Structure 1
């Protein structure tokens, strides 16, 4: 009979408490939480950058189309 996932997690948690000590566990949790928050913030910033650059591209293409149409009017 093999141990279930929960039994393995409990054994790992007990070893972590024994080897790291109860004082280091909260600081470890805090650093993991900060890492996750930083990762999520980085993902959100990338989405914002992509949106801003696509808006700039759309504005640039509309301005270039206006310049081309004004040049064509000058020729006629």
Structure 2
């Protein structure tokens, strides 16, 4: 029997300021958005076991990403953009 086991990353916009465009220090565009990331072990592309949760900024152009802290999340709630460094 052949089992296909792998890792899968699921992203969705962060409710607290996920619609605020932020600056990407890698490609120098205003294209980064706040997302919530869940990494899971998957079996045949079905998520089985989540093992890592994070809140991060991810650029939609170059794909650069960085974790954000609670201070950055509070600035996003107020509508202030933050940057990926």
More strand by share: 2
Shorter-normalised TM range: under 0.3
State the TM-score, normalized to the length of structure 2: 0.19
Larger radius of gyration: 1
After TM superposition, the score normalised by the length of structure 1 is 0.21
Question: Is the helix fraction higher in 1 or 2?
Answer: 1
